[in-house]
Amino acid sequence: MMHEPLEPRPVKTKFFTPTVIFITILAINGIIWALLRFVLGIGAVTNLDNQHPWGIWIGIDVAAGVALAAGGFTTSALVHIFHREDFHVLVRPAIMTAMLGYTFVALGVLFDLGRYYNIWHVPIMGNSTSVLFEVGICVMTYVSTLYVEFFPVVTERFMGRVRMGGILSKLNRAVDKLLRWIDAFLVKTMFFFIILGVVLSCLHQSSLGTLMMIAGHKIHPLWQTPIAPLLFLLSAISVGFPMVIMESLIASKSFGLKPEMDVLAKLGRFVGPLLAIYLGFKIGDMAVRGTYVYLSDLSLPSIMWMVEVLFGVIIPMRMFFWDKVLQSRPLLLIASFLAIFGVFIFRFNVFIIAYKPPYSFGAYFPSIGEISITVGLISIEILLYRILAIIFPVVSQPVKRLAVNAKYKVQGVFR
């Protein structure tokens, strides 16, 4: 490594800034609407009806949420399976974002479920022919896997530092012992969870694409394709690194750290080819099925498709192939943002724009309640990221700025 040595450390910064206060307000607004949803029912706070059973809670919170949490599995695959240790500084933030992302996907689902208290039916009564079951069980398993993958960070933070007060103080030694045992166990088995995480991600990222296939003619032909699972998987893989890049750039700015531009630029070189593969399949599918005829009608779906492909795939792809972009912090941020936007709008299009009910009594537009809860969930996620980064050694920082004081400085696979 040419650059100065980096170590993951808890970030030292004050919690509240004007932006954080604004985000907190959005979070509180979301919580208020969430209470209303649970007291008054889904119909009272959403614009959902029998014609439009799914809205942005599924289209954005779940579908886009899962895609944008792809940074976790792509980065851990890159570093641990393909042994590109030069990117290891990015693993912890990526895993943590994925963990938070998936946790909020699960929460978002709970808002949308009419009988959320029956969620435990899924693992016991699961219907093997249901795509949703596959997605659900994979997400459930993967969330657990992500917690396991993140756990070494917890053990690292607290091993030798368990100081519980009051009557719990008697347990301090036992807890410390347990933490050490878990840490030792995870060191030996972590590779299993890493591969499992990648496999589960590939499964449910692609299954999300299968999800709307059963709606048949209700989905606009621009998106109703038999290779939808492949497109979903490819787009998820291609969005993983831009997500890590954007997150790293924003977090470093917010925490007042120097961004690791050389690592990020190197990571950015993967994005162009990945986007190109995705674009190739997307255009190839269009050519084979002849769906380009729908582009000329300039309806909402066709315009949204063009926006998705032009601004979300072609432009960022070109940018990532350009050295000047990879070296420039603002341009890299824009390129990553566009790639993320592309996948976000892809999920949004498939789940919201492409869904055309056979009997419609009006178009669907999300209500204030739906938007508030979605924005609130994202806000809480951002706040939690900040809290966890302050508590746990997640974000890598130059070693020389900090005294080495941890007993176990490197744990498990996060080395």
Partner 1 sequence: MNTQSRREFLKTAGLLGAGIAGIKPKEAAASPVNIVSDDRMGVLVDSTVCIGCRQCEIACKEEHGLPVGSLDDYMDRTLLAEMRRPDTTALTVINEYPNPKNPDQHTDLKVQCMHCDHPACVSACIVGAFSKQENGAVIWDESRCIGCRYCMVACPFQVPAFEFDKALEPKIMKCDLCYDNRTSKGKLPACVEACPQNALIFGKRYELLQLAHQKIQDRPQSYFDHIYGEHEVGGTSWLYLSNQDFASLDFPDVGTEPMPGATEPLQHALFKFFIPPVALYGLLGGIMWLGKGNKAEEEE
User: Which one, 200 or 326, has the nearer CB to partner 1?
Assistant: 200
The span of 123-131, 175-183, 278-286, 317-325 binding partner 1 (CB under 8 A) equals 123-131
C-alpha span between 238 and 311 (Å, rounded):
15
Is position 126 an interface residue for partner 1 (rule: CB under 8 A)? yes
Q: In the complex, what is the shortest distance from the CB of residue 265 to partner 1, in angstroms, rounded to a whole number?
A: 23
C-alpha span between 29 and 18 (Å, rounded):
17
Q: In the complex, what is the shortest distance from the CB of residue 27 to partner 1, in angstroms, rounded to a whole number?
A: 23
Q: Which of 32, 199, 295, 334 is the binder for partner 1 (CB under 8 A)?
A: 199
What is the 8-class DSSP label of residue 16?
-
Is position 136 an interface residue for partner 1 (rule: CB under 8 A)? yes
User: Which one, 203 or 345, has the nearer CB to partner 1?
Assistant: 203
C-alpha span between 319 and 327 (Å, rounded):
11
Q: Which of 5, 14, 18, 39 is the binder for partner 1 (CB under 8 A)?
A: 39
Residues 321-380 that bind partner 1 (CB under 8 A): 355, 357-359
Q: In the complex, what is the shortest distance from the CB of residue 197 to partner 1, in angstroms, rounded to a whole number?
A: 10
Q: In the complex, what is the shortest distance from the CB of residue 176 to partner 1, in angstroms, rounded to a whole number?
A: 21
Residues 94-113 that bind partner 1 (CB under 8 A): 109, 112-113
Residue 398, SS3? strand
Q: How many CA atoms lie within 13 A of 260 on its CB side?
A: 28
User: Which one, 15 or 191, has the nearer CB to partner 1?
Assistant: 191
Q: In the complex, what is the shortest distance from the CB of residue 258 to partner 1, in angstroms, rounded to a whole number?
A: 28
Q: Which of 173, 253, 401, 415 is the binder for partner 1 (CB under 8 A)?
A: 415
What backbone phi and psi angles, to 5 degrees, belong to 348?
Answer: -60, -45
Is position 191 an interface residue for partner 1 (rule: CB under 8 A)? yes
The span of 10-18, 92-100, 190-198, 304-312 binding partner 1 (CB under 8 A) equals 190-198
C-alpha span between 47 and 388 (Å, rounded):
35
DSSP string, 308-336: HHIIIIIHHHHHHT-HHHHH-HHHHHHHH
Instruction: List beta partners, residue 355.
Output: 219
Is position 80 an interface residue for partner 1 (rule: CB under 8 A)? yes
Residues 159-184: b if buried by 16+ CB within 10 A, e if exposed: beebeeeeeeeeeeeeebeebeebbe
Contact in structure between 244 and 75 (CB atoms under 8 Å): yes
User: Binding residues for partner 1, how many (CB under 8 A)?
Assistant: 73
Q: Which two tokens stand for residue 183?
A: 């840490």
The span of 23-31, 170-178, 213-221, 384-392 binding partner 1 (CB under 8 A) equals 213-221
Contact in structure between 322 and 264 (CB atoms under 8 Å): no
User: Which one, 16 or 82, has the nearer CB to partner 1?
Assistant: 82
Residues 170-189 that bind partner 1 (CB under 8 A): 187-189
First-last CA distance in the chain: 14
C-alpha span between 305 and 27 (Å, rounded):
31
The span of 192-200, 280-288, 335-343, 374-382 binding partner 1 (CB under 8 A) equals 192-200
> Which is it for the CA torsion 274, 276, 282, 287, positive or negative?
negative
Residues 214-233 that bind partner 1 (CB under 8 A): 214-218, 226, 229
